[in-house]
């Protein structure tokens, strides 16, 4: 692995690898080892079964070799299993120590003294191993791919590289190959067994990576979109700032100065965030060591980094509703503690210093005022971590200055919410976190250079005023604030742009029409299911006639009445009276169908094809070629059955499919130009990933879109009510860009469309704290 610049070298060095909590990998090590034992055992059994089957049809020259190979496998099976486990354990241990660390000699170190000739058989063995690696990689690519992405994200790297995954398939293949060389000396038998065992391991691999993946997921790590390269560069710069600030802090302490004193040389001053937060982190680190030293011996005493990690990434199964020793709420539902009373007083106070446009009190200054109010260690830890989080947030360079100060006002109610419900610190869906992150996301798309930005700041101020005034114990106060902000943003963006407003209205109309058709077709399908209906008529009713039913200008009662006639006309006619009745009905029926299709603007070609299909059905009926219906009804019974159809349905909330031609025609009819993205491709994303991506796609969010090989800033202006269509404005383009839901997910998966934020505000603050703890741990 080549390092591209000094910042990356610092970022990926072993000394600073503590950004990745070692405990997570240690936890994943056990299922990897136990899973390999199961995999190896199954592989040996499967290989013997493959050989048994192959011997039944083996050609004469291969029979003896295969029999000898099977005999060797039976005799050396236990030894082979033990050696495979031994090699895998050693390779895994080494891989966990060399993650994101280049152990190869650099070009400067190569000389005649360290050059080595490689024998042909070594190269051959490596080719055999690589061939098996490719087969194993293909055998469980989805799980392996997600695991590779998780590990890359833990290392803060935007490029997914499988060689940095300590659980990669190469270790499985190498363990098998080396163990087999030791167990079977005969070269021909060894080669034959390796081929057979390779096939067997490929068959048995499914599920091996799932158990390892679950460990990472249980610690709050998921296979998210790869972070933007520009965001990674910013993260690397921040880590470097933390490391320099930590060096200054440690240097001052070693020289006899105070940890919280300012650097002697102004030119070397640490950035404000690091200089304020590091002394607090160092204090917490010392407290953590004191607690560990005074506690009974433990098999694993967490350090500061792991403690911080556990607080913000606790597995769902282990999330307590409250701190174990936190006082229970009073009878009236209020917390009833001195600490909460103090926080409530702070929240409701409105000093002049917090007025609009003036800076709010610094989070760490508020924390100092609460130092003596906490009555338990968990409360003190919560106060410390939440204060540090908000200190990081108010210095977040990705946010405009005004928004940073506004978010600082959330500190006290956020802390009160965390005291009431500690799970919020590791629950991304908690209303308080969602409001915090939503404000930060809106600030990426509506920036200070826009004319509407002052209105956004005013609205954020109003929303936060409401939270400060009303929040006590009900978390829905935060959700109400987010809803108000969402509604404001949805009306703010089109307010000063008539073209944008027209486009938004058009998309809403297209979706509403498609939704009515989709919901109506679903309702009709439910009514047709109990009937034994000719599929040709069933498809016509749900596809074609449902469009007539939802068309605004159609005669809805008459169109609905035809449902019974259409179904009855396709049933077998057993009596002369029924056949005569059908002959009398057909001219009027066909005429009304033709008129209905013409009324909705159905093209002549499509309309003729639909009518030809009906004619074929009716010819089969009149020619006695129609199979008998198992649930035939007369016309009156069918009319009673379809009376349950209540007309056009609009009860659904799910996104609907909208075709390119339909969307293009609707926009052209209104004279609106737009770039259309409707191809969803073949997405392999998991439902959880799609849900997360859609959660990022909210009005006001900032994005980047790939245009002619480069990324251009974009803003999501509107989302249709049912989430079927997404409207973006793109810098430098007069026409907006419209994505269907499937096309949006495909673009985000391929990263032709990506968010400006590499992570939400809260997660960025947690990452910053972890980087600070990492910097201190390295000294």
DSSP class of 729: E
Q: Is 570 exposed, middle or buried (0-12, 13-18, 19+ CB in 10 A)?
A: buried
Buried b (16+ CB within 10 A) or exposed e, 131-151: ebbebbbebbeebbbbbbbbb
Buried b (16+ CB within 10 A) or exposed e, 747-759: bbbeeebbbbbbb
Tokens of 386: 């939440």
User: Which domains, and CATH codes, for the chain?
Assistant: 6-102+118-223 (no CATH), 334-496 (no CATH), 504-642 (no CATH), 660-757 (2.30.30.30)
d(CA 362, CA 339): 19
Per-residue pLDDT of 390-436, as tens digits, reads 999 999 988 999 999 999 999 999 999 999 998 889 888 999 999 99
Per-residue pLDDT of 639-671, as tens digits, reads 899 888 876 665 567 888 888 888 888 888 888
This prediction has a pTM of: 0.69
> What local confidence, expressed as pLDDT, does residue 14 receive?
32
| Helix (H), strand (E) at residue 496 | none
What are the C-alpha distances in Å from 776 to residues 84, 190, 444, 606? Answer: 40, 52, 31, 71
> What local confidence, expressed as pLDDT, does residue 532 receive?
85
**Residues forming a β-bridge with 714:** 703, 730
> What local confidence, expressed as pLDDT, does residue 482 receive?
95
SS3 content of the chain, % helix, strand, coil (to 5): 65, 5, 30
The residue written with tokens 């055998």 in the block is 139
Does residue 306 have a pLDDT over 80? no
d(CA 653, CA 722): 6
Tokens of 535: 């599929």
> What local confidence, expressed as pLDDT, does residue 598 receive?
87
> What local confidence, expressed as pLDDT, does residue 235 receive?
62
d(CA 404, CA 394): 5
| Helix (H), strand (E) at residue 559 | helix 556-569
What are the C-alpha distances in Å from 719 to residues 511, 518, 572, 726, 748? Answer: 11, 19, 49, 5, 16
Does residue 330 have a pLDDT over 50? no
Interhelix angle 120-139/141-154, nearest 10 degrees = 100
Per-residue pLDDT of 27-45, as tens digits, reads 788 889 999 999 999 999 9
d(CA 274, CA 269): 10
d(CA 496, CA 118): 71
684 in Cβ contact with 145 (< 8 Å): no
Which among 332-336, 353-357, 553-557, 566-570 has the top mean pLDDT? 566-570
Tokens of 623: 């020619």
């Amino acid at each position: 692995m080549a390092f591209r610049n000094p910042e990356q070298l610092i970022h990926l060095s072993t000394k600073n690898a503590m950004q990745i909590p070692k405990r997570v990998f240690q936890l994943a090590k056990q299922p990897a080892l136990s899973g390999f034992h199961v995999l190896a055992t199954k592989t040996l059994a499967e290989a013997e079964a493959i050989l048994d089957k192959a011997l039944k049809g083996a050609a004469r020259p291969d029979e003896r070799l295969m029999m000898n190979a099977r005999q060797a496998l039976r005799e050396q099976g236990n030894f082979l299993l033990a050696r495979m486990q031994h090699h895998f354990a050693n390779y895994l241990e080494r891989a966990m120590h060399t993650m994101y660390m280049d152990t190869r000699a650099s070009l400067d170190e190569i000389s005649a003294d360290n050059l080595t000739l490689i024998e042909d058989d070594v190269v051959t063995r490596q080719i055999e191993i690589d061939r098996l690696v490719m087969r194993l990689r293909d055998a469980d690519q989805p799980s392996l791919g997600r695991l590779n992405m998780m590990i890359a994200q833990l290392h803060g790297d935007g490029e997914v590289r499988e060689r940095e995954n300590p659980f990669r398939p190469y270790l499985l293949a190498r363990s098998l190959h080396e163990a087999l060389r030791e167990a079977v000396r005969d070269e021909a038998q060894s080669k034959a067994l390796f081929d057979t065992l390779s096939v067997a391991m490929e068959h048995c691999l499914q599920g091996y990576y799932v158990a390892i993946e679950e460990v990472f997921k249980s610690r709050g790590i998921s296979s998210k979109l790869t972070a933007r390269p520009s965001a990674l560069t910013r993260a690397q710069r921040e880590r470097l700032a933390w490391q320099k600030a930590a060096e200054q802090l440690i240097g001052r302490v070693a020289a006899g100065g105070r940890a919280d004193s300012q650097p002697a040389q102004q030119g070397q001053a640490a950035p404000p965030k690091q200089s304020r937060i590091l002394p607090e982190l160092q204090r917490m680190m010392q407290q953590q060591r004191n607690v560990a030293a005074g506690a009974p011996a433990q098999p694993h005493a967490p350090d500061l980094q792991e403690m911080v990690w556990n607080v913000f990434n606790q597995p769902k199964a282990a999330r307590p509703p409250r701190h174990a020793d936190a006082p229970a709420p009073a009878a009236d539902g209020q917390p009833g503690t001195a600490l909460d009373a103090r926080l409530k007083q702070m929240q409701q106070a409105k000093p002049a210093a917090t007025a609009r446009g003036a800076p709010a009190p610094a989070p760490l200054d508020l924390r100092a005022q609460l130092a003596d109010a906490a009555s338990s260690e968990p409360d003190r830890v919560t106060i410390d971590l939440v204060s540090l989080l908000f200190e990081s947030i108010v210095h977040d360079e990705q946010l405009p200055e005004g928004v940073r100060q506004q978010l600082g006002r959330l500190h006290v109610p956020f802390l009160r919410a965390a005291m009431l419900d500690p799970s919020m610190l590791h629950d991304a869906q908690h209303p308080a976190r969602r409001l915090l992150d939503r404000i930060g996301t809106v600030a990426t798309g509506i920036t200070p250079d826009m004319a509407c930005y002052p209105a956004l700041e005013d609205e954020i101020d109003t929303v936060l005023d409401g939270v400060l005034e009303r929040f006590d114990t009900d978390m829905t106060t935060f959700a109400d604030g987010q809803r108000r902000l969402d509604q404001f943003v949805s009306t703010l963006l089109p307010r000063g742009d008539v073209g944008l407003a027209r486009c938004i209205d058009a998309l809403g109309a297209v979706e509403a029409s498609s939704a009515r058709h989709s919901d109506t077709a679903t309702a009709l399908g439910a009514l047709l299911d109990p009937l034994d209906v000719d599929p040709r008529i069933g498809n016509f009713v749900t596809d074609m006639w449902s469009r007539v039913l939802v068309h605004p200008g159609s005669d809805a009662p008459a169109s609905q009445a035809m449902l019974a006639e259409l179904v009855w006309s396709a049933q077998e006619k057993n009596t002369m009276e029924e056949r005569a009745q059908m002959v009398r009905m057909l001219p009027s029926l066909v005429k009304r169908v033709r008129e209905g299709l013409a009324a909705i603007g159905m093209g002549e070609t499509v309309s003729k094809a639909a009518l030809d299909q009906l004619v074929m059905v009716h010819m089969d009926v009149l020619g006695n070629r129609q199979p008998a219906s198992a649930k035939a009804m007369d016309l009156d019974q069918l009319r009673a059955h379809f009376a349950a159809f209540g007309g056009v349905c609009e009860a659904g909330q799910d996104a609907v499919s909208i075709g390119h031609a339909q969307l293009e025609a609707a926009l052209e009819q209104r004279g609106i130009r737009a770039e259309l993205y409707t191809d969803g491709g073949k997405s392999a994303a998991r439902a959880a990933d799609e849900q997360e991506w859609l959660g990022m796609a909210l009005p006001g969010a900032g994005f980047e879109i790939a245009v002619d090989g480069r990324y251009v800033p974009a803003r999501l202006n509107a989302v249709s009510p049912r989430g079927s269509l997404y409207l973006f404005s793109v810098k430098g383009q007069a026409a907006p860009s419209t994505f269907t839901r499937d096309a949006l997910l495909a673009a985000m998966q391929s990263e032709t469309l990506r968010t400006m934020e590499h992570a939400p505000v809260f997660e960025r603050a947690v990452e910053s704290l972890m980087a600070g703890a990492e910097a201190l741990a390295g000294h």
